[in-house]
């Protein structure tokens, strides 16, 4: 370490990891306003924050699979914080959001733009509701960033029309509700079709359309669904769908 430099603390790394999840891979640079903002919060340079995010990228297995190495000098604590997130998506997103609110000196509700009229006034019910909304917001941000705000089926790039869908449903697997490898960025129509089992994604990351939809070969059905059968999905830059979750959807949800 150069003279005058200080070690990164765990809290700083948790905040950096929070931001890493929310930014598209191509925006991990020191000119990014979000990186500049975090740098001011933790009294570091935008360049040092950007470099730390690239250190995290070197630990990302989805990037390694694409041949992208990132920086090569991740510290022991970098690896520990990465592992904390990667092995505990149930808790770490919320912890990191609480920490960000503390550094921003705002409430969790304000940080996540949660209107007061949509949560109970006080008590345990309020805590549970706020946590659920914070986690949902984090999951959406992470999934849309991983897919560069692009629908995995159609390639549509309009964030307002996209959702962060779950491969294995929220109600079925509590432990993986916030696991980004259990998420896909998809437009609202195809998300409904995915939930209903009319389409699925194979372990080879190709779209498969139910035979039930092939019974209607009208132009509209062909345009919306049939033409995508067998086509590869638009892949995320990070957090590739986990084959275990895809296998579950193929076997338990898909209407062959």
Picking from 115-124, 178-187, 222-231, which range would have the lowest pLDDT averaged per residue? 115-124
Q: What is the pLDDT at residue 71?
A: 65
Averaged pLDDT for residues 166-190: 93
Which of 143, 139, 147, 117 shows the shortest CA–CA distance to 129? 117
Residue with tokens 């991740």: 74
Averaged pLDDT for residues 118-135: 75
Q: Decide if pLDDT at 79 tops 70.
A: yes
Q: Decide if pLDDT at 8 tops 80.
A: yes
pTM greater than the 0.85 cutoff: yes
Q: Decide if pLDDT at 232 tops 90.
A: yes
Averaged pLDDT for residues 219-247: 94
Q: What confidence tens digit (pLDDT) does each residue in 16-54 have?
A: 999 999 999 889 999 999 999 999 999 999 999 999 999
* Average pLDDT for the chain: 90
For residue 191, count CB atoms less than 10 angstroms from its CB and return exposed for 0-12, middle for 13-18, buried for 19 or more.
Answer: buried
SS3 per-residue string spanning the chain = CCCCCCCCCHHHHHHHHHHHHHCCHHHCCCCCHHHHHHHHHCCCCHHHHHHHHHHHHCCCHHHHHCCCCCCCCCCHHHHHHHHHHHHCCCCHHHHHHHHHHHHHCCCHHHHCCCCHHHCCCCHHHHHHHHHHHHHHHHHHHHHHHHCCCCCCCCCCCCHHHEEEEECCCCCCCHHHCCCHHHEEEEEHHHHHHHHHCCEEECCCCEEEECHHHHCCCCHHHHHHCHHHCCCECCCCCCCCCCHHHHHHHHHHHCCC
Q: What is the pLDDT at residue 183?
A: 97
Q: What distance in Å separates the CA atoms of residue 232 and residue 44, rounded to the nearest whole number?
A: 42
Could you tell me the sign of the dihedral formed by the alpha carbons of 87, 172, 154, 188, in that order? negative
Which of 3, 7, 4, 5 shows the shortest CA–CA distance to 77? 7
Averaged pLDDT for residues 63-71: 71
Q: What is the pLDDT at residue 84?
A: 94
Q: What confidence tens digit (pLDDT) does each residue in 133-162 have?
A: 889 999 999 999 999 999 999 999 999 999
């Amino acid at each position: 370490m150069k003279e005058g430099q200080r070690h990164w603390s765990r809290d700083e790394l948790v905040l950096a990891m929070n931001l890493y999840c929310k930014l598209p891979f191509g925006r991990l640079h020191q000119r990014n306003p979000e990186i500049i903002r975090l740098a001011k919060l933790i009294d570091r340079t935008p360049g040092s924050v950007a470099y730390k995010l690239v250190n995290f990228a070197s630990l990302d297995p989805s990037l390694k699979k694409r041949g992208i190495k990132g920086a090569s000098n991740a510290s022991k604590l970098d690896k520990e914080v990465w592992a904390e997130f990667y092995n505990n998506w149930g808790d770490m997103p919320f912890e990191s959001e609480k920490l960000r609110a503390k550094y921003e000196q705002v409430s969790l509700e304000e940080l996540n733009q949660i209107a007061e009229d949509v949560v109970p006034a006080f008590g345990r019910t309020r805590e549970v509701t706020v946590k659920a909304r914070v986690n949902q917001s984090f999951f959406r941000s992470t999934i849309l960033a991983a897919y560069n705000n692009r629908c995995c089926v159609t390639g549509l790039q309009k964030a307002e029309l996209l959702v962060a869908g779950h491969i294995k449903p929220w109600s079925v697997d509590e432990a993986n509700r916030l696991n980004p490898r259990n998420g896909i960025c998809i437009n609202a129509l195809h998300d409904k079709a995915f939930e209903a089992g009319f389409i699925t994604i194979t372990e080879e990351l190709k779209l498969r359309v139910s035979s039930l939809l092939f019974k209607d070969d009208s132009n509209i059905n062909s345009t919306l669904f049939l033409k995508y059968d067998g086509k590869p999905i638009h892949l995320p830059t990070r957090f590739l769908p986990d084959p275990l979750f895809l296998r579950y959807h193929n076997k338990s949800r898909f209407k062959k």
